[in-house]
Every structure is written in structure tokens, then in C-alpha cells.
Structure 1
Amino acid sequence: EKLKVLKEKTSQEIKEMEGNVYSLFKERGKFEKEISELKAYLGRLKLQEEELKEKIYDREKEIISLEDKLSAIEEKLSEYKDLEIGEVKESVIKLREEINKAKREIKLIGNVNFRAQEDYEQELSRFNEYKEKQIKLKEESKAIKNLIEEIEAKKRKVFLEAFNTINKNLKRIFSFLSPGGRAEMFLDNEEDPFSGGVQLTVKPRGKDVQYLEAMSGGEKTLAALSLIFAIQEYKPSPFYYFDEVDAHLDEVNARKVGELIRQKSKEAQFIVVTLREVVASFADRIIGVSARGGISEVFALENKALEELIKRD
């Protein structure tokens, strides 16, 4: 029972830790998504800014070039104003059309967002802030993982120490209660003890190894008492109460149980309810209860008197 409580308590602590880790991972995923979106947005802003700058630069360069050409042509025209200059005029008209076209294209570009750089800096600052949070979350997540691993290692160590000690006690106690017999516990999964259960096998004297389901009532009683005493030796209690635990035992086995309780009574107090005189004979104090006329009567019985009764039988 105490192993079960320890296991449940530790499992609960791990579930809470796992819940915290899951929350941190969820929050980290949220930050990573926002960071990714910010990166994409910053990239688009930067690309748009570069494209606009490039278009403006090309158009302004083109206008300057065309205006230079126009000035040069007009200067030449002034020198040859009396000559036939029809072809030259056509060239000038063409140049003016190209200049006007370039100006129209600049207008189509619209107003340039001169705050793009400032927006970029702000978004970059937010990006760096989220990046720092992400790093911190990773560090916290790693710390929690390490803590969980440490707890798992300690839990496994404590459990195996308890299991091995109780198993050792079980073998010794059962061999006392059933001379020539053997009882042993084993794990369903030795690699991961907490993913499986604990099995108990018993080999009564002169019989094959059996599981509890296949044993008689008396054999089950001896196995159960052996396990109880094995656990209590690992975690002793100052007080024990047994209620007719010898009900399914024969005389020989009942005597062995009485002897064992007598031994253990040096370290703890036992109150045992029994109908077996052989078990009661090992008690320091005997209190009898009888019914007469529908009324229960309690009386003290000397151990010597009980021994005399046993001898008569």
C-alpha cells in the first residue's frame, strides 16, 4: 500500500511537471510563430523599400539622361536654326515623349513610404525581444526536463531499493512460515518498472510454482501475511491489528503464524482476534468474549489456563 501511495504521489508530481513542460512548449510555439510572421513581414517591407528605391533611381537617372540629351539637341538646333531640321525635331519630340512617360511612371509609383526604415527598426526590435523570450523559454524548458529526469532517476532508485528489500524480507518470512516453500516478487518490466505491475509467485512445499489465483485459502493467507510482514519490516509501524487472519490455516501453519507474531511483538504492539487456541497461546494478554443470554461478556484469561486447555485437547 505504501509503495502504491509513493508511486501515485510521484506520478502526480511528474504529471504536473509534464503539464508545465507542455505549457512552456505551447507558449514557445506561439512565440516562434509570431517571430516567423515578423520575419516574413520585415522581409516584405525591406523588399518593397528596395524595389521603390530602385524604380525611383532608374526613373530619375533616365530623366536626367533625357534632359541632358534634349539640352544638347536644342543647343545644336540653335546653331542650325536656318537649316532643314525636320528629322531633328522628330527626335526632340520623341525625347520629350519619353521624358513625359518617365514622369508619369514616377507618379504611378505613388507616395514613397519614408517611414519604412523606421517601421523596419521597430519590427526588428520586436523580433529581437521575442527572440530573447524564446531563448529564455528554451533554457527553462531544458531546466524542467533535467529536473524531471532527476526525479525519475531518484524515483526509480527509491522504488528498486524498496522492492529489493521487501522481496528479500518476503523470501525469508515465507520460508519461516512454510518451511521448504518459496515466495518471490518480480517486475513485469524490469527496464521500466513503472510501466508494468508487480507479480507474486509462491511455491508451497512439495508443490509447483503457483500464482495467487491458483492457491488454496491457507496458502493465500501465508503468502499475504508474508508480504504484509515484509512490507512492515521495511516501513515498521508501532501498532498492528489482525482479525482472524488464521481462519483458513491448519494447526501447523497457525502455530507458525503465532510464533511469527510473537517474535514481532518485541518491536511493536499486536492486537489479534482469533478463534484458534494455538495462536492465542502466544499472547502476553488474552481477553475473551462470550455471549450468554444475548449479552456479550468480556473476561480476562490467564495464559497458563489456556495452555492447560490446549494440553487437554
Structure 2
Amino acid sequence: MSLDLEDTIKGLSSKQKNIEITGESLKSAESNIKDTENKLEMLKESINNAEKDLENANRQKLNTDKKKDSLQTYIDINSEKLAELESGRDLNSLPAGSEQEEDREFIESISGINNEDIKKAIEELNLRIKELGDINMNAAKEYKDALDRLDFLGKQKADLENSIETLRGVIKQLDNVSKEKFNSSLAGIRQKFKELFTFLFGGGHADILNVVSRNFDEAGENEEQSDADLSGMEINVQIPGKKFSGINILSQGERVLVAVSLLFSIFLVKKTPFCVIDEVDAPLDYANNARYNKLIEEISNYSQIILITHNKKTMEIGKNIFGVTSKHPGISGIVSVSMN
């Protein structure tokens, strides 16, 4: 379960890194899209303005051409009139002052028009169009491609976020199962620990407490506790004739018996076919060693125990004894004795 949890956490970390990379790509794509949109809008505005100016210039040129045609017609009419005058025709047949007034108004209306000014205005408009530079005809396609890329990255981001939520749910479920199994096992271990402690010390009281540490921020102002806080176990014991205290102030032999009580309480909750004990009884006195030997004999009824010891009293409870001797320097020999 621990390996599965580690693999899950590694997978979560990898997904988070992918999200960060995708987020950066998404931000870059969004920035490029905004820049492209701004450039496209400015280009459209410039083209619209140039088209309007060119349209106005063409309209003005068309009006000028019409007025030039009208003026040419006026010139032709007056040329005919002049020819008639020169030929001696009767001017009384003409309406008095009618044509002269019409001609005067027409001449005044076109008096402010100059072909050079019109040509100059057209040249200025063409120059402004050239100053706009080359027009990117693929701007619309690039804009569409950028939008498609943005949509793709958005879907990838959503997929990664969904995966993270799924992994978090799995991790939370594993944490809950681990906590339930831990608390269930701890309850059994506590009970066995109390029994073995009382047996080895001939009385007293002992307990195992589940301790949850709390994390502080750097400023030390806020105190926060979460599922990620560290936790552990604290052992409190009261040896007969002494005050209730922790194991730090106990003697070496007393610490050994407390450790033996804890280890064998775990062993009794979850039994194994073999148990190897390496010189645990070294610091024990005669009385404590006798209690220790009784515990070993009790456990040996349902588990095979291998003891490494120099204590003769401990050797007496063994069914098979193997001794290592050195008859010659650098050469070891093994001697076995069956006590059955």
C-alpha cells in the first residue's frame, strides 16, 4: 500500500508539472492571440481609413471630371455663339441675360477647382497606403489557428485538472484506509502492551498515545493543522513505586523491558513464524531476566524463536543450543546441544 501511495503521489507531482507547463503555453498562446487581434484591428482600421480616403478622392475626381465635361460643353456653346457673332447673325433672337447669368454661376462654382490639387491629393492618399506596408493576407488564418491552439490547450488543461482531482480522491481514500487500519492495529497493540508491561514489571501502568504535531508558518502567527501534519506515538509508563513519566528518565534495563513489551505487543497482534532476538537480555538483572524468560517461553508456543545471548539463564530455556568456539586462532567451530 505504501508503494502504491508513493507511485500515486509521484504521478500527481508529474501531472502538476504538466499543468504548469500547459498553463505557461496557454498564457503564451493567449498573449500571442491578443497581440494578433490588436494588430489585426489596427490593420483593419488603417485599411478602412485608406479606403474611405481613396473613395472620397475618386468621388471628388469624378465630380471634377463631370465639371470638366460641363465646362467643355460651355466652351463649345460659346464657341458656336462666337462663330454666329462673327457671321453677323441677329443677337436679338437670344433671351436677354439668361445664358450670361447661367454661365456666370457655373464658372463661379468651378473656379476653386484645380487639377493639380486633385492630383496632389490622390498622390498623398497613395503614399499613405504604401506607408501601411505589406498586408498579411494570412492574418485571419493565423488568428483562427491561434484560437484552435487555445481551445486545444484548454481541453488539455481541463483533462489534467480532472486527473489531479481523481488522484487526490484516490490518495484521500488510501489515507482514510491507512488511518483506519492503523487505528485498529494500534488499539490491539495498546491492549497487549499494557498486559506485557504489567507482566514484565509485576504491576504498574503503560499506554501508547497517538500524537499529532502541528505546523507553524514562518512568522509564527498562525497555527495550521492539515492531513499532511506529522504524527507519531508517545509511550508513557508508570513503573511500580515510581511516578508516571516518559521512558527518557528510565534506567537502561527498564528501557529494555519497555522496548520488549512494545515489540512483543506488535508481534502478538501480527504473529510471524520466526522471531530473532539479539542479546536483548544483556542489561537485565536476575529478576527481570526471569520475567523475560517466561515471556519468551510463552511466545515460543506458537512461534519459533532464535535467541543470541551470553546469559546462562536464558540459555536454560532453549531447546537447542548452538555455541561458537575458537579452538585455534582464526578458526571457529560450532557445537550444538539438544536440551530435549
Shorter chain as denominator, the TM-score bin is 0.7 to 0.9
- Report the equivalent of 1:198: 233
Q: Select which of 279, 285, 291 maps to 2:319.
A: 285
CA gap of 1:50–1:164, structure 2 versus 1, over 3 A, is: farther
Larger helix percent: 1
Structure-2 separation of matches of 1:200 and 1:154: 24
Q: Tell whether 2:59 aligns with 1:44.
A: no
1:124-182, Cα deviation, whole Å (9 max, x unpaired): 33333333323322233333333333333333333333333323321222122223212
Structure-1 separation of matches of 2:201 and 2:244: 14
CA gap of 1:148–1:46, structure 2 versus 1, over 3 A, is: farther
Structure-1 separation of matches of 2:279 and 2:159: 62
Structure-2 separation of matches of 1:31 and 1:178: 67
Q: Is the Cα–Cα contact under 8 Å of residues 42 and 124 in structure 1 kept in the other structure?
A: no
Q: Select which of 121, 141, 150 maps to 2:173.
A: 150
Q: Select which of 63, 70, 93 maps to 2:64.
A: 70
Q: Select which of 152, 167, 173 maps to 1:129.
A: 152
Q: Select which of 176, 179, 186 maps to 2:202.
A: 179
Structure-2 separation of matches of 1:137 and 1:143: 10
Amino acid at match of 2:286: E
Structure-2 separation of matches of 1:293 and 1:78: 144
CA gap of 1:53–1:33, structure 2 versus 1, over 3 A, is: same
Q: Is the Cα–Cα contact under 8 Å of residues 238 and 269 in structure 1 kept in the other structure?
A: yes
Q: Select which of 183, 186, 190 maps to 1:160.
A: 183
- Report the equivalent of 2:15: 21
Instruction: Tell me the TM-score normalised to structure 1 length.
Output: 0.77
Q: Select which of 256, 260, 263 maps to 2:298.
A: 263
- Unmatched 5+ stretches in structure 2: 79-102, 214-225
3-state SS, counterpart of residue 110 of structure 2: helix
- Report the equivalent of 2:246: 211
3-state SS, counterpart of residue 112 of structure 1: coil
3-state SS, counterpart of residue 136 of structure 2: coil
Q: CA deviation at 1:226?
A: 0.4
CA gap of 1:129–1:186, structure 2 versus 1, over 3 A, is: same
Q: Which has the higher contact order (CA 8 A, sep 6+)?
A: 2
User: How many residues in Structure 1 have an aligned counterpart in Structure 2?
Assistant: 296
Amino acid at match of 1:247: A
Instruction: Tell me the TM-score normalised to structure 2 length.
Output: 0.71
Q: Tell whether 2:80 aligns with 1:58.
A: no
Q: CA deviation at 1:11?
A: 7.0
3-state SS, counterpart of residue 212 of structure 2: coil
Structure-1 separation of matches of 2:35 and 2:275: 73
- Report the equivalent of 1:253: 288
Structure-2 separation of matches of 1:54 and 1:297: 105
RMSD: 3.5
Structure-1 separation of matches of 2:143 and 2:270: 67
| Larger deviation, residues 97-106 vs 169-178 | 97-106
Q: CA deviation at 1:76?
A: 4.3
CA gap of 1:207–1:148, structure 2 versus 1, over 3 A, is: same
1:48-81, Cα deviation, whole Å (9 max, x unpaired): 4422431233123212331243234334434554
- Unmatched 5+ stretches in structure 1: 1-5, 304-313
Structure-2 separation of matches of 1:120 and 1:61: 29
Q: Select which of 201, 204, 227 maps to 2:262.
A: 227
Q: CA deviation at 1:274?
A: 4.8
Q: CA deviation at 1:220?
A: 0.9
- Report the equivalent of 2:132: 109
Bigger Rg, structure 1 or 2: 2
Amino acid at match of 1:215: L
Q: Is the Cα–Cα contact under 8 Å of residues 243 and 274 in structure 1 kept in the other structure?
A: yes
CA gap of 1:105–1:127, structure 2 versus 1, over 3 A, is: same
- Report the equivalent of 2:89: none
Q: CA deviation at 1:277?
A: 5.7
Q: Is the Cα–Cα contact under 8 Å of residues 28 and 137 in structure 1 kept in the other structure?
A: no
Structure-2 separation of matches of 1:255 and 1:145: 52
Q: Is the Cα–Cα contact under 8 Å of residues 66 and 99 in structure 1 kept in the other structure?
A: no
Q: CA deviation at 1:227?
A: 0.9
3-state SS, counterpart of residue 91 of structure 1: coil
Q: Is the Cα–Cα contact under 8 Å of residues 156 and 193 in structure 1 kept in the other structure?
A: no
Amino acid at match of 1:19: S
Equivalences for residues 85-100 of structure 1 within 5 A: 85=107, 88-93=110-115, 94-100=117-123
Q: Is the Cα–Cα contact under 8 Å of residues 35 and 131 in structure 1 kept in the other structure?
A: no
Q: Is the Cα–Cα contact under 8 Å of residues 31 and 134 in structure 1 kept in the other structure?
A: no
